[in-house]
């Protein structure tokens, strides 16, 4: 008989790997199970763009729209900090506030929009005509094809500051009263009626029939606005950037007046010229 070879002390067999039932892969070789991922948080639901939807952004533009209540207000989207500042104003206007991330607002408005954490969905302002002008200050502005929304917005802001009764623009060659204009106006669009007309020369004729004195602002005007005989009601007519007043517009003004500049530069940006003209006209008209 063959004798069995004695097993070395301390020797042992390697344990066979364990397999799961129905699997040929050892448990130790299988990758660990991934932790369950939290569900993605849904972003805010914005309305689709349409002709009857206006997106108003920027803190002052939105807050003034909420206070004025001159248009139909739909929904307000705001970052947590902005929502806290506007909560009482939105509640008074009956508008629901949706908390949103700043990135969501930028995606909706575009990267260039300085929204300051607020976006208001609203309907356009109701259309107005010359017959709808309510005289308070007795001053109206008429814009002859001023196309830059930032200039028109700044003019509206000055108009609101001087309690101007209305701003008249042309339907064509004028910016749309949307978010860019509302932001530049910093709330002025909500307080000063913006009246669109097909033909500015014809509109100036209608204003004459309503008793308005029509003064066109022009650097070549025959007299200074400071010396001009001003009476209420008054319409100040401003020309487009670089082009000034068109011929038919000039012909439908009672006279042309200039702003005298004492410095080396004799002209101003149209929005700045408007603010200076309103200051001069308001002071002259308010004198006893």
pLDDT in tens, 94-103: 999 999 999 9
Q: Model confidence at 13, in pLDDT bands (50, 70, 90)?
A: low
Q: Model confidence at 43, in pLDDT bands (50, 70, 90)?
A: confident
Q: Model confidence at 288, in pLDDT bands (50, 70, 90)?
A: confident
Determine phi and psi for 183, rounding to 5 degrees.
Answer: -65, -45
Task: Quote the pLDDT of residue 20.
Answer: 53
Task: Quote the pLDDT of residue 39.
Answer: 56
pLDDT tens digit sequence for 54-104: 999 999 999 999 999 999 999 999 999 999 999 999 999 999 999 999 999
Task: Quote the pLDDT of residue 47.
Answer: 95
CATH 3.40.50.10320 assigned to domain 54-122? The reply is no
Q: Model confidence at 242, in pLDDT bands (50, 70, 90)?
A: confident
Q: Report the percentage of the chain scoring pLDDT > 90.
A: 79
Instruction: Pick 241 or 121 by higher pLDDT.
Output: 121
* Domain residue extents for the chain: 54-122, 130-286
Q: Is the pLDDT of residue 19 over 80?
A: no
pTM (2 d.p.): 0.83
CATH 2.40.10.10 assigned to domain 130-286? The reply is no
């Amino acid at each position: 008989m063959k004798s069995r070879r004695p097993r070395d002390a301390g020797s042992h067999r390697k344990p066979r790997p364990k397999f799961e039932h129905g699997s040929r892969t050892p448990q130790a070789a299988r990758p660990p199970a991934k932790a369950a991922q939290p569900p993605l948080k849904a972003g805010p639901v914005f309305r689709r763009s349409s002709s009857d939807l206006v997106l108003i952004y920027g803190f002052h533009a939105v807050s003034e729209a909420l206070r004025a209540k001159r248009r139909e207000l739909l929904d307000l989207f705001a970052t947590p900090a902005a929502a806290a500042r506007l909560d009482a104003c939105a509640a008074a206007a009956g508008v629901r506030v949706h908390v949103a991330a700043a990135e969501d607002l930028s995606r909706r408005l575009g990267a260039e929009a300085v929204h300051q954490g607020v976006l208001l969905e609203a309907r356009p302002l109701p259309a107005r005509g010359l017959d709808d002008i309510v005289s308070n200050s007795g001053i109206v502005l008429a814009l002859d094809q001023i196309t830059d929304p930032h200039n028109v917005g700044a003019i509206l802001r000055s108009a609101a500051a001087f309690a101007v009764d209305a701003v008249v623009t042309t339907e064509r060659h004028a910016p749309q009263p949307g978010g860019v204009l509302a932001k530049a106006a910093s709330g002025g669009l909500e307080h000063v009626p913006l009246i669109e007309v097909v033909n500015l020369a014809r509109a100036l004729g209608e204003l004459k029939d309503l008793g308005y004195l029509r003064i066109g602002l022009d650097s070549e005007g025959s007299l200074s606005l400071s010396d001009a005989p001003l009476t209420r009601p008054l319409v100040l007519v401003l020309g487009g950037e670089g082009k000034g007043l068109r011929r038919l517009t000039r012909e439908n003004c009672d006279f042309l007046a200039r702003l005298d500049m004492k410095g080396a530069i004799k002209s101003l940006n149209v929005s700045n010229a408007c603010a200076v003209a309103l200051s001069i006209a308001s002071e002259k008209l308010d004198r006893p």
